[in-house]
Amino acid sequence: MKSTFQRNINIGVHDGLSKNEEKLVKLLNFICLIWYFVTILFIVTDYFIVENYLGVVVGYVLQVLLFILVQFLQYKRMYFAARILFVTCSHLLVFVFCNAIIPGVFVDLFYILTPLFGLMFFENRIIHYSLLFIAIISFVLPNYLWQNYDVTLFEDPTTIPIFFISIFLLVTYFRNLNMKNEKRLQEQKNIALNDKELIENQQKELLDLHNFQNQFFINIAHEIRTPLTIIKGNINRLKSEDESIVETLKSQSDKIQRIVKDVMDLTKMDTNEFSLNNEDVSFSSFVKTVFNSFYSTFQSKEIDYQLFDTSKKNAIVDGDKIYLESAISNILTNAAKYTENKEQVFLIIEQSTDNIVLKIKDTGIGVQESEKEKIFNRFYQSDNSINRSGGSGIGLAFSKEIIYKHGGSLVLESKVGEGSTFIITLPIKSIVPKTEKIAESNVQIDQVIKASNPVSKDQKTVLLVEDNKEMREYISSVLSGYNIVEAEDGLEGIENLLKHDIDYIITDYMMPKMNGYDFIKKIKEENYTVPVLMLTARTDNKTKLEVLRLGIDDYISKPFEEEELLLRVKNGLNNYKSQQEYIQSENIQVEETRQDTITNAFIKKLKEFIEDNCANEKFGILDLCDEFAVSQSTLYRKVKSLTGLNTKEFITEVKLKKALEIFNQDETLSLKEIGYKVGFLNYTHFGQLFEQRFGKQLSSNT
């Protein structure tokens, strides 16, 4: 019943209608339905009180047919015609009833509906007043002609007009008031919608800011932890008095200091604390000095790196050499970061009447049009694989601020896939004759070729996947007893896996192009079973769980101890060797073993069960056999083939890794407390095992 009524109300409604038009269509349908109901009611009641009952029924049937026609016109979307027909029919039906069918019973009063319907369905005031006039005439004139009522009712000719006009004006007032209220409500609704949109935009901006801040702090942690690892690792080696080590420490210390200084200087720029120590700077000579300082950086990537000076005279600028050098260095650092090996980076000096211009042009990855201005915002970084591997997002913001403080400008021209050109424009203070000539392209620097030592047959080969050059050099020096194959990112790591027989893999987590997570995922899909150790500056549990679920053998958080790294690699290689020897001796199918290693299903369940029960000091091999419904020999065979460890060694390994996880979460816990949590009653023995496995001593304080 309800659905039938709703369908009748919605006759003629479609998606293209405005809300007001839709309301009028539904209103007219509703009036027609009410009129049908009233008609039925009158047909029933009039049977007992009306003499000309047949004429009344004919009139009612006629009006029903006319209103059905009105709804048909609505259905055909002829809305104006439907409304005209409705108002006309309702008026004519009143005229017929009060003058022909049942005269003298004040049906004439229903004439007032004619102007009221006009107010409902039409906006034109001429129509409103015309219908009012017609209603009054229709009431008064027939009575003078046919005298349906006592003539005394019309002795005062103003009675009926005043009655009709009063009702009409009263309804008009409330109609206008309602329209004003609706308009005000619509305006408030629009304001609310605009506020909602504004709030949603602000929420999006806050979310973007939150994401930028998260990435910023992650990158800052990565940027700082890497040099810290190198510094910490080289401290114990200073006894050798090797000047290269001292130089490495100085370089990494300077890097940390530069990051902190840039952040502090950016903060000072918003206050009165920041000031420049300006002096006369010969721009061409100054740029040449900065250019030379980056030559080895670009040479190591085999990038075509050249300086072109097209200025005719020596331009002097009023500037702070330290800050100008830092501003240009940040741009060159970016050029090195975003430009592939064997591409091009050019510096071009141009001169106009009042300004000196330095263009730093690269053929790197480029910047999207929508991000050209954003990249100069503090902490903003384009969303690409290179930025996700590190960076602070303050370099370009700092450079632009510095150039602006010198009265100049820094703009970017760039196309994705074609490269970028940063244009620095500074005002010229004065012009002096040139005293030197900069070569148009080449500053010759001898290349140093490292001779590689022959690899012993027994020497294990470690694939080191790390984007930071200094970190690769440091880890290679720590693992001097191994043959090291280096890769800058996951893609290059995969290429090296195809070229070399790799025994062990060490990979960073945050890298450009392909990060450590995707790299490990890829090699697992390709059935590589060599042990994997992940290095990461990210210490959050989410990251740890992500990489552990991939089935890696181990991970180390930066900074780490040299001994810890050596022990992890040694243990991983020994376990892998034991695994391979057992597989060969037992003639286990390699394909089956690899598949088990990839899916990790069985080993994963074993680990989870051991971790859930490791606090029980009585937990042992029989508990595993009961849980997985296998014999001790079958369990031994499976665990040995998949991990290289026997069942007892595997249980101990899981317990020790659980202990390491507990220690990383709370380093204040004592040896006894951690041992209790993983089911070791002999705390001294547990401490020895932990130190042998991870190269770390646990505090014995309680």
Measuring CA to CA, which residue among 53, 88, 43 is closest to residue 67? 88
Would you state the pLDDT for residue 125? 87
pTM, 2 dp: 0.40
pLDDT 10s digits, 522-575: 887 777 778 888 887 665 556 556 656 655 667 777 777 777 788 888 888 887
For the chain, how many structural domains are there in total? Answer: 4
Would you state the pLDDT for residue 447? 34
Do 564 and 691 fall into the same domain?
no
Among 131, 155, 179, the domain-final residue is 155
In a domain, 444, yes or no: no
Rounded Cα–Cα distance for residues 575 and 343 (Å) = 43
Would you state the pLDDT for residue 683? 75
CATH number at residue 508: 3.40.50.2300
Do 655 and 572 fall into the same domain?
no
Would you state the pLDDT for residue 544? 59
Do 469 and 522 fall into the same domain?
yes
3-class DSSP string for 370-386: HHCCHHHCCCCCCCCHH
> Does the CA dihedral 502-508-510-512 come out positive or negative?
negative
Of the CA atoms within 13 Å of residue 318, those in its CB half-sphere come to 11
- Bridge partner residues of 464 (DSSP): 486, 506
* Helix, strand, coil fractions of the chain, as percent rounded to 5: 60, 10, 30
Would you state the pLDDT for residue 445? 27
Would you state the pLDDT for residue 225? 67
In a domain, 506, yes or no: yes
In a domain, 480, yes or no: yes
Encoded tokens for 359: 């263009």
Name the residue range of residue 647's domain: 600-702
Do 284 and 366 fall into the same domain?
yes
Rounded Cα–Cα distance for residues 652 and 685 (Å) = 12
Other residues' Cβ atoms within 10 Å of the Cβ of residue 599 = 12
In a domain, 76, yes or no: yes
Q: Report the chain (702 residues): mean pLDDT per 10 consecutive residues.
A: 78 84 88 85 77 77 86 89 89 81 75 87 87 86 72 65 86 84 84 84 76 62 68 64 63 66 61 76 90 85 88 86 88 85 90 89 82 69 48 72 90 85 91 56 32 53 87 86 88 87 86 83 79 73 59 72 81 78 59 44 78 81 81 77 75 84 78 83 80 72 52
Rounded Cα–Cα distance for residues 338 and 664 (Å) = 35
Do 473 and 418 fall into the same domain?
no
CATH number at residue 336: 3.30.565.10
Among 127, 155, 183, the domain-final residue is 155
Would you state the pLDDT for residue 597? 43
Encoded tokens for 536: 């990461």
Do 15 and 137 fall into the same domain?
yes
Would you state the pLDDT for residue 583? 64
